Amino acid sequence: EDQVTQSPEALRLQEGESSSLNCSYTVSGLRGLFWYRQDPGKGPEFLFTLYSAGEEKEKERLKATLTKKESFLHITAPKPEDSATYLCAVQAGGRGSTLGRLYFGRGTQLTVWP
Amino acid sequence: KAGVTQTPRYLIKTRGQQVTLSCSPISGHRSVSWYQQTPGQGLQFLFEYFSETQRNKGNFPGRFSGRQFSNSRSEMNVSTLELGDSALYLCASSSIRTFAYNEQFFGPGTRLTVL
pLDDT of residue B101: 62
- In this predicted model, what pLDDT tens digit does every residue of B14-33 receive, in sequence order? 999 999 999 999 998 989 99
Q: What is the dihedral of CA A68, A71, A74, A80, to 10 degrees?
A: 180
Query: pLDDT averaged over chain A?
Result: 92
- Distance (Å, whole) CA B68 – CA B51: 7
Comparing CA positions, the residue from A102, A104, A59, A103 lying closest to residue A86 is: A104
**Residue A51: what pLDDT?**
87
Kindly report which listed range (A17-21, A76-80, B39-43) carries the lowest average pLDDT score.
B39-43
More confident call, B112 vs B94 = B112
Q: How far is A45 from chain B (nearest CA, A)?
A: 7
A49-84 pLDDT tens trace: 998 999 999 999 999 999 989 999 999 999 999 999
Query: Which residues on chain B are in Cβ contact (under 8 Å) with A106?
Result: 42
Q: Pick from B4, B55, B101: which is nearest to A32 by CB?
A: B101
Q: How far apart are the first and last CA of chain B?
A: 37
* CA gap B86, B30 in Å, rounded: 28
Q: What is the pLDDT of residue B103?
A: 86
Strand order, beta sheet including B74-78: B5-7, B19-24, B74-78, B64-68
- State how far residue B37 is from chain A, nearest Cα, in angstroms: 10
pLDDT at residue A97, as a whole number: 60
Binning pLDDT at 50, 70 and 90, where does residue B87 land? Answer: very high
Residue partners of B65: CB distance under 8 A and separation at least 6: B76, B77, B78, B79
Q: In Å, how far are B56, B69, B74 from B53, measured between CA atoms? A: 9, 9, 11
